[in-house]
A and B are shown apart, each in its own frame.
Chain A
């Protein structure tokens, strides 16, 4: 066909224009995708850094708290405990050398009060510093905790069960302590607030996580209020639990049945420790 210069110009303009504009449109979409991906990656990296920083701060706070507990427990044991033992020894001497019955009676009462105080100091020391956990591990400490609760009350029955998928699973000391503290707090809550008469503790451990289940037959609490309130409004005990489990990317949730009581499910993510390492 015979085409004029104008026709050729129009055709060229059309072809080049269409090609360029299409290329720009496709390039623009690709740019949007790449840029967005990059910005989101940066955003995620920053969030991860922030979470890590938050976790580190929590870890330090918990470690400081534990150190302080240890210091108080050691002082109570070494100083107050030793002095109380001395008072008891002297009171026993007075009892033996007392001339009259009245004096013996008063001294006997004093000895009883001192014995009770020594027992209380020991109990507080053990609560502050669970030596069994350090020496014999989580299961022994859990057993001791249950025994203590059973001995302390006549109306409460507490039982526990630990299931390990891997017998060689070696938990870090800090994690064991956190599990123990969370358990202490949940049992305490069941006793104090739920007025439960039966508590069942279940621990299930596998390579990835630890599931802690504390079941009671108490009166429960207002779940709606619990889920609606902000973190800062939570009770001190619950805040402590949340702080400890958040270090391990864990979670806590409550299942409540008015006729059966409350079940607290706590998850500790062991994988998070391995990933950090």
Chain B
């Protein structure tokens, strides 16, 4: 196992932080976080399978296609719960529906589920999730209902989403191109590794912030 692979596995292990906090405080967890915990557990399974398959050279692209949709649905569900406005809630449901259709069409016509990395769906998902995050921050400033952000779980959750999906936006956009380049150009693989370090770093930040969100979401905190 190379250094790159070890670092990758270590960063993936950080997803265990929010999972551990969620499981330890499951009884006092708010209902949306219980649902989100299910997603995080699903993500652990996904990480284990993709790590195993990539280490053993087994084809796993369909899993990435599927997980992007699952991830988008769970994050959107959280924003659906956070939203107070009924029309905003309806919009989120409508966007989820549209996204699923888009993802299906994308795999049929644009990015093959077995041969292509799903850049399109990841880029669109990132854009939508970043928009959710910005719109929540806008509402937070407009309504001024949250005084102590340190104790506000939604603030931490929202910050996690904004930083991770904004940070990985260009990665999602260019990853397919870089994969193709890596196949053609000798030594480009090394550059891809450097890019992945950024992804790992953002993934660690995401999980730390999600862990904080789950931690402060408990009624006693």
Contact = CB atoms under 8 A, between A and B. Distances in A.
B174 interface: yes
Given A36-B140, A43-B144, A10 B163 contact: no
A7 interface: yes
A12 B53 CA distance: 31
Given A14-B170, A21-B170, A28-B134, A35 B141 contact: yes
Contacts, number: 69
Interface in A198-256: none
B141 A36 contact: yes
Interface string A12-52: 01100110011011101100110110011001000000000
Contacts of B92: none
Contacts of A3: 185, 188
Contact of B170 (A7, A18, A25, A36): A18
A11 interface: yes
Given A1-B187, A10-B181, A33-B149, A21 B141 contact: no
B62 interface: no
Given A1-B187, A2-B185, A32 B137 contact: yes
A25 B140 contact: no
Contacts of B141: 32, 35-36, 39
A14 B174 contact: yes
Interface in B122-136: 130, 134
Interface residues of B, number: 30
Contact of B181 (A7, A17, A21, A22): A7
Given A14-B195, A35-B141, A22 B166 contact: yes
B150 to A, nearest CB: 10
A11 B187 CA distance: 14
A249 B221 CA distance: 29
A26 B202 CA distance: 12
Given A36-B140, A40-B144, A13 B167 contact: no
A26 B164 CA distance: 11
Contacts of B178: 10, 14
* Chain A interface size, under 10 / 10 to 19 / 20 to 34 / 35 or more: 20 to 34
A29 B167 contact: no
A2 to B, nearest CB: 7
B118 interface: no
Contacts of A24: 166
Contacts of A21: 166-167, 169-170
A249 B14 CA distance: 49
A139 B141 CA distance: 53
Nearest to A40: B147
B181 to A, nearest CB: 6
Given A1-B186, A10-B178, A28-B137, A36 B149 contact: yes
Contacts of A35: 141
B94 interface: no
A40 B140 CA distance: 12
Nearest to A44: B147
B117 to A, nearest CB: 15
B188 A1 contact: yes
A40 B148 CA distance: 10
A7 to B, nearest CB: 6
Contacts of A26: 163
Nearest to B190: A1
B199 to A, nearest CB: 10
A18 B137 CA distance: 21
Contacts of A36: 140-141, 144, 146, 149
Interface of B: 130, 134, 137, 140-141, 144, 146-147, 149, 159, 162-163, 166-167, 169-171, 173-174, 177-178, 181, 185-188, 190-191, 195, 198
27 contacts: A1-B187, A1-B188, A3-B185, A3-B188, A7-B188, A10-B174, A10-B181, A13-B170, A13-B174, A14-B171, A14-B173, A14-B178, A17-B173, A24-B166, A25-B130, A28-B137, A32-B137, A32-B140, A35-B141, A36-B141, A36-B144, A36-B146, A36-B149, A39-B141, A40-B144, A40-B147, A43-B144
Given A3-B185, A18-B167, 5 more contacts: A7-B188, A22-B167, A24-B166, A28-B137, A39-B141
Interface of A: 1-3, 7, 10-11, 13-14, 17-18, 21-22, 24-26, 28-29, 32-33, 35-36, 39-40, 43
